[in-house]
């Protein structure tokens, strides 16, 4: 008999009828539902719980309907789940906070979605001075929970963002310049491995897994908790995101934004002199406020309920690719209007530039290492990470029509940067499109570490073969 993974593949290429996978629903879902610990935690289609979870995805493009969803509450549950899925060779997807943009970011349609939504707690331990966070929560809750203790962590800038995917994929925060990526501020991951064992990965125990988890998202195990160092010092403390926003429905055109931020609450620090020197500033909304309020406000800027498509690129810190991108962005928006008119689809797009500095990469190396490979890229200077986003409320056909235009924009920008010797292959996992070969872009040295960790901690390749969501380790 073929396994469910084989049947799904065979059905996809038409060598067996789609109905052949029906038995897999019972093999994978009913087998989990029969496990006493998982009673009431497996949701089948048409149940209220299943529908409610589907409604809670940030991006409509990502909200896929699986054979069933399973919602663990403890690491033990997660262990039972992975053992059952592996025994039945069941395809699965991993959902943390549910904020991935694309189809197959965090769910599967043919298989089981492991949904961490009930594992959403935040605990501050004043003795160990660590913040323990579960992977299914959102940063707004984390900040609100921590605020009474005067503690912050390097989490998402928008409070709506999920915790698990953000940290395991790197995590670019207000604190990147001073502390590195969010994953570089993790002291310990609790992980359920492919064989169901529950282990810690930190600087002194499973340190190779600790390093390899930082930047690879769901490739090595199911993270059930991560312990973060609080942000206690901050230097340097200023950062910025420059972006052109095409918001036809909201403002009738394109606006240039500078999201400037200083974690010591300094108003107009010298780092921002060049921004304030720009002529004709339309509006200045900077305020001194708590992280919680800022995160809350930023979350409302990119609301749920849209289909979303994101693409990543990067290049050396140089104005030419930036100018080129902005020029092409106008052409892109005109072309998008042809296939997905904003008047019908609520189309909006962003063209965003964020610094990737040597200081960010160095913090990664100092704090036990990560496997994003940034230190190799920043060796000869700082870089810019580029993000192109599209959101619309139209149909899947609109999204499909937009895809080649978005992909062509990125190819063109990459080719332009390359022609000037400025291109970086590096792609930020949490911003990249599913068609982009993210992990390969981390470079040979990093990929070798990731492969070694995968061979050791997931010898049968469960997270490469059965996992249908997220990015994979290159073969």
Ligand X SMILES: *[C@@H]1O[C@H](CO)[C@@H](O)[C@H](O)[C@H]1NC(C)=O
Ligand Y SMILES: Cc1cc2nc3c(=O)[nH]c(=O)nc-3n(C[C@H](O)[C@H](O)[C@H](O)COP(=O)(O)OP(=O)(O)OC[C@H]3O[C@@H](n4cnc5c(N)ncnc54)[C@H](O)[C@@H]3O)c2cc1C
Binding footprint of ligand Y on the chain (CB under 6 A): 58, 94-100, 105-106, 116, 135, 156-158, 160-166, 168-169, 171-172, 217-218, 222-223, 302, 430, 469-470
C-beta atoms surrounding 436 within 10 Å: 20
How far are the Cα atoms of 117, 359, 391 from residue 255, in angstroms, in the given order? 36, 30, 16
| From ligand X, ligand Y, none, interface partner of 217 (C-beta below 5 to 8 A by class) | ligand Y
408, 371 Cβ separation under 8 angstroms? no
| From ligand Y, ligand X, none, interface partner of 118 (C-beta below 5 to 8 A by class) | ligand X
Residue showing tokens 């929560």: 137
Residues 223-282 that bind ligand X (CB under 6 A): 227
Write down the least CB distance from residue 203 to ligand Y, Å. 20
Q: Return phi, psi of residue 359, to 5°.
A: -65, -35
Q: Closest Cα partner for 317 from 240, 246, 237?
A: 240
Write down the least CB distance from residue 428 to ligand Y, Å. 7
Write down the least CB distance from residue 286 to ligand Y, Å. 18
C-beta atoms surrounding 236 within 10 Å: 14
Write down the least CB distance from residue 130 to ligand X, Å. 7
| From ligand Y, ligand X, none, interface partner of 238 (C-beta below 5 to 8 A by class) | none
| From ligand Y, ligand X, none, interface partner of 202 (C-beta below 5 to 8 A by class) | ligand X
- Residue 205 binding ligand X, by CB under 6 A: yes
> Which lies closer to ligand Y via its Cβ, residue 24 or residue 78?
78
Write down the least CB distance from residue 26 to ligand Y, Å. 25
d(CA 55, CA 49): 10
Write down the least CB distance from residue 166 to ligand Y, Å. 4
> Which lies closer to ligand X via its Cβ, residue 134 or residue 345?
134
Binding mask 79-118 for ligand X (x = CB under 6 A): --------------------------------------xx
**Cα 432 to chain centroid, rounded:** 8
- Residue 123 binding ligand X, by CB under 6 A: no
177, 222 Cβ separation under 8 angstroms? no
Binding mask 55-74 for ligand X (x = CB under 6 A): ------------------x-
> Which lies closer to ligand X via its Cβ, residue 119 or residue 152?
119
- Residue 162 binding ligand X, by CB under 6 A: no
Residue 198, CA atoms < 13 Å, CB-side half-sphere:
12
Site size with ligand X, rule: CB under 6 A: 11
d(CA 433, CA 412): 16
Find the length of the chain.
475
Q: Closest Cα partner for 224 from 188, 172, 181, 171?
A: 188
Write down the least CB distance from residue 42 to ligand X, Å. 16
> Which lies closer to ligand Y via its Cβ, residue 183 or residue 325?
183
Pairing of strands 68-70, 112-115: parallel
> Which lies closer to ligand X via its Cβ, residue 168 or residue 333?
168
| From ligand X, ligand Y, none, interface partner of 248 (C-beta below 5 to 8 A by class) | none
Q: Return phi, psi of residue 411, to 5°.
A: -60, -40
| From ligand X, ligand Y, none, interface partner of 205 (C-beta below 5 to 8 A by class) | ligand X
Q: Closest Cα partner for 347 from 358, 355, 356, 338?
A: 338
| From ligand X, ligand Y, none, interface partner of 100 (C-beta below 5 to 8 A by class) | ligand Y
> Which lies closer to ligand X via its Cβ, residue 6 or residue 118?
118
- Residue 163 binding ligand X, by CB under 6 A: no
C-beta atoms surrounding 16 within 10 Å: 16
Q: What residue spans of 88-192 are helical by DSSP H? A: 139-146, 163-168, 176-179
d(CA 115, CA 118): 8
Q: Return phi, psi of residue 199, to 5°.
A: -130, 160
Q: Looking at 35-43, 81-89, 200-208, 396-404, which segment touches ligand X (CB under 6 A)?
A: 200-208
50, 44 Cβ separation under 8 angstroms? yes
Output the six-digit token pair for 238: 């200023």
Output the six-digit token pair for 368: 């036990």
Binding residue for ligand X, selected from 6, 74, 202, 286, defined by CB under 6 A: 202
> Which lies closer to ligand Y via its Cβ, residue 369 or residue 470?
470
d(CA 75, CA 62): 25
| From ligand Y, ligand X, none, interface partner of 171 (C-beta below 5 to 8 A by class) | ligand Y
- Residue 132 binding ligand X, by CB under 6 A: no
> Which lies closer to ligand Y via its Cβ, residue 285 or residue 343?
285
| From ligand Y, ligand X, none, interface partner of 94 (C-beta below 5 to 8 A by class) | ligand Y
- Residue 187 binding ligand X, by CB under 6 A: yes
C-beta atoms surrounding 47 within 10 Å: 13
Q: Closest Cα partner for 458 from 142, 132, 122, 216?
A: 216
> Which lies closer to ligand Y via its Cβ, residue 170 or residue 369?
170
Q: Return phi, psi of residue 74, to 5°.
A: -140, 165
Phi-psi region of 461 (alpha: psi -120 to 50; beta: other; left: phi over 0): left
- Residue 343 binding ligand X, by CB under 6 A: no
Question: Which residues of this chain interact with ligand X, rule CB under 6 A?
Answer: 73, 117-118, 120, 187-188, 200, 202, 204-205, 227
């Amino acid at each position: 008999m073929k396994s469910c993974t084989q049947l799904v593949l065979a059905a996809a290429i038409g060598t067996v009828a789609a109905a052949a996978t029906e038995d897999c629903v019972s093999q994978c879902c009913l087998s989990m539902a029969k496990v006493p610990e998982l009673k009431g935690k497996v949701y089948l289609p048409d149940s209220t719980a299943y529908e409610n979870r589907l409604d809670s995805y940030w991006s409509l493009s990502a909200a896929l309907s699986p054979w069933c969803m399973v919602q663990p509450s403890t690491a033990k549950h997660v262990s039972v789940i992975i053992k059952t899925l592996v025994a039945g060779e069941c395809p699965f997807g991993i959902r943390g906070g549910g904020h991935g943009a694309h189809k197959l970011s965090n769910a599967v349609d043919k298989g089981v979605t492991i949904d961490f939504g009930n594992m959403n707690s935040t605990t501050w331990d004043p003795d160990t001075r660590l913040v323990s966070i579960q992977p299914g929560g959102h940063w707004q809750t984390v900040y609100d929970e921590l605020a009474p203790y005067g503690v912050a962590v390097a989490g998402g800038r928008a409070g709506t963002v999920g915790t698990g995917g953000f940290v395991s994929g790197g995590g670019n925060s207000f604190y990147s310049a001073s502390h590195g990526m969010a994953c570089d501020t993790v002291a310990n991951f609790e992980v359920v491995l492919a064989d169901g064992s529950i282990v810690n990965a930190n600087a002194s125990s499973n340190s190779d897994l600790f390093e390899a988890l930082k930047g690879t998202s769901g490739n090595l195990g199911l993270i059930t908790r991560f312990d973060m160092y609080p942000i206690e010092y901050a230097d340097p403390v200023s950062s910025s995101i420059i972006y052109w926003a095409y918001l036809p429905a909201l403002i009738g055109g394109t606006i240039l934004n500078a999201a400037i931020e200083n974690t010591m609450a300094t108003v107009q620090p010298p780092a921002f002199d060049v921004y304030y020197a720009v002529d004709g500033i339309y509006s200045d909304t900077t305020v001194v406020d708590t992280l919680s309020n800022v995160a809350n406000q930023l979350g409302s800027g990119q609301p749920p309920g849209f289909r979303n498509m994101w693409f990543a690129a990067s290049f050396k810190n140089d104005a030419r690719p930036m100018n080129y991108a902005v020029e092409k962005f106008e052409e892109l928006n005109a072309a998008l209007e042809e296939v997905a008119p904003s008047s019908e689809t609520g189309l909006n797009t962003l063209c965003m530039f964020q610094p990737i500095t040597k200081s960010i990469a160095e913090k990664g190396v100092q704090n036990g290492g990560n496997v994003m490979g940034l230190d190799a890229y920043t060796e000869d200077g700082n870089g810019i990470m580029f993000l192109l986003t599209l959101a619309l409320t139209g149909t899947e056909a609109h999204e499909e029509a937009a895809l080649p235009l978005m992909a062509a924009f990125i190819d063109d920008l990459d080719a332009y940067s390359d022609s000037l010797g400025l291109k970086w292959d590096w792609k930020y996992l949490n911003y990249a499109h599913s068609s982009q070969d993210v992990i390969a872009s981390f470079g040979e040295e990093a990929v070798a570490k990731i492969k070694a960790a995968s061979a050791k901690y997931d010898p049968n390749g469960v997270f490469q073969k059965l996992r249908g969501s997220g990015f994979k380790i290159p073969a």
